[in-house]
Amino acid sequence: MSDAPDTRRSDGPPRGGWLSRVVRLLVSNRTAVVLIAVLTGLSLIGVLYPQDRIMSAADIASLEQRWGVLASVGRALGFGSMFGSWYFLATAGLTCLSLIACTLRRVVRRRTGAPRVPSTDLANDPRAMDAGTVDADPGHLHSALRVALGPVGRLARMSDSSVDGTVRVFAETGRAGLWGSVVFHAALLVVAAGGVLTVLTWFAGQIVVSEGQTVVDARDAYMSVTREPDLGAAYSGAAITLRRITPSYEGDLLTRAQAEFEVTEAGGGSFVRQVEVNYPLEAGGKTYVLGNSGYAVQLAIKATGAALAVPARRILPAHGNLRTSHTPDQ
């Protein structure tokens, strides 16, 4: 998460206040690597240990019976809901902070001029190359190095420092490459921020709408609501009308169900969308995904033996168990 080896010793006495110590910890490459390793390990446990969200109570009981102490220890440590556990979220959060700190450090270091000449022995630096001792003026050496590096030399930055009377020239290449890495890490931060926002504004529910029916996005329009947002409004007030739905079959296989929706936003604007599997409807800040499509129960209400509603009409080939709810007039 940084372009230069971290040559500063972190095992000496702590310098500065707690804040500077925290910052030093966050910009450290070692911290970044440890956090990635811990996140990897926790995710792996989350894969190997059965998660509560996909297990029934009977499955959990069976697991505890089969694995005994191991399963009990896992449950006690919260492995069953790994991805909602405080330690997983804390590790993910710290990784994001490390990502921010390391990315900022790289950009700031790059913008503040000359590259840092490593203060420790270059022999310990995996990317250092010892060209031997050259008796030359540093200025001439810079020019000679640029020629020797060829096209890369145009991208290299060089600086020199005098240690015990010996001038050491340090060249750093990969200026353009830095920005690829910075953009990539910044993109990860955007994804992480998006994840946090999603969790805070997450809504999940099921809504049932029949052909010709209009529903207004409000609590009572939903058959079930499993999650309401912690931030922002849960319901948009948009009016959604299902104009028609057209199922297509190949033999017995439903291959397409295309629904035409008309949406009138709470602000007054309206539009029409064709919605089907893999083509969701986006309206009022929500994404509506077509679930089971096309069929609803039709009730035939009878009074004193006389039918009041039109009888259900079969419209599908070879699907005797499915009956349409399509009753245009009643």
Residue 280 found at the interface with another protein (CB under 8 A): yes
The window from 24-32, 60-68, 210-218, 319-327 that contacts another protein (CB under 8 A) reads 24-32
Q: Residue type at 91? A: T
The window from 15-23, 50-58, 63-71, 110-118 that contacts another protein (CB under 8 A) reads 50-58
Residues 285, 290, 295, CA angle at the centre, nearest 5°? 135
Residue 317 found at the interface with another protein (CB under 8 A): no
Q: Which of 65, 250, 328, 330 binds another protein (CB under 8 A)?
A: 250
Comparison of 36 and 107: residue with beta carbon closer to another protein: 36
Residue 88 found at the interface with another protein (CB under 8 A): no
Residue 37 found at the interface with another protein (CB under 8 A): yes
For the record, the structure tokens of 1 come out as 């998460």
The window from 105-113, 220-228, 260-268, 283-291 that contacts another protein (CB under 8 A) reads 283-291
Residue 32 found at the interface with another protein (CB under 8 A): yes
Size of the site for another protein (CB under 8 A): 38
Contact call for residues 219 and 234 (beta carbons, < 8 A): yes
First to last CA, the chain: 65
Backbone angles phi, psi at 77, to 5 degrees: -85, 0
* Rounded least distance, CB 127 to another protein, Å: 8
142 vs 148: CA distance, rounded Å = 10
Radius of gyration in angstroms for the set of CA atoms belonging to the chain, rounded to a whole number? 32
Cβ contacts of 169-172, under 8 Å, gap ≥ 24 = 169/138, 169/141, 169/142, 169/145, 170/115, 170/116, 170/117, 170/118, 171/145, 172/3, 172/4, 172/115
Distances (CA, A) of 120 to 8, 12, 178: 8, 15, 23
Residue 292 found at the interface with another protein (CB under 8 A): no
The single residue listed with the structure tokens 């804390």 is 90
Residue 316 found at the interface with another protein (CB under 8 A): no
| 177 to 196: interface string for another protein, x by CB under 8 A | ------------------x-
Residue 9 found at the interface with another protein (CB under 8 A): no
Comparison of 45 and 215: residue with beta carbon closer to another protein: 45
Comparison of 138 and 174: residue with beta carbon closer to another protein: 174
Report 128-187 residues binding another protein (CB under 8 A): none
The single residue listed with the structure tokens 């439903």 is 254
Q: Which of 6, 52, 228, 260 binds another protein (CB under 8 A)?
A: 6
Q: Which of 23, 24, 25, 39 binds another protein (CB under 8 A)?
A: 39
Cβ contacts of residue 310 below 8 Å, gap of 6+? Answer: 327, 329, 330
Residues 113, 117, 122, CA angle at the centre, nearest 5°? 155
Comparison of 169 and 188: residue with beta carbon closer to another protein: 188
Contact residues toward another protein (CB under 8 A) are 1-2, 5-6, 29-30, 32-33, 36-37, 39-40, 43-44, 46-47, 51, 53-54, 83, 125-127, 195, 198, 250, 253-257, 277-280, 287-289
